Amino acid sequence: MPALNVEFSDRELEDLRQIAKERGTSMKALVREAAAADIARHRALQEGAEAFRRFFASHADQFAAAFPEDEPAVKGEGRVV
């Protein structure tokens, strides 16, 4: 399995040791769990943003009608999308 060497300050390393001890786990497992949680959060945020973009695009006319003051100025015919 690929690995990654990560450097920590003395203070960070001591904090990691303490947290791992309190949780009854290894430092390696603690750091891996934190990284995996951050990856999952990042993916969820990306998926949520994409779902919002699709929703907004499919309801653009309703948003424009509800919030006309937020619409960009339009030159000529039609709306800018």
Q: Report pLDDT for 73.
A: 81
Contact in structure between 31 and 6 (CB atoms under 8 Å): yes
Whole-model pTM? 0.69
Give 24-74 pLDDT, tens digit per residue: 999 999 999 999 999 999 999 999 999 999 999 999 999 999 999 999 887
Could you give the C-alpha distances from 72 to 7, 32, 53, 62, 81, in angstroms and in order? 48, 46, 18, 15, 9
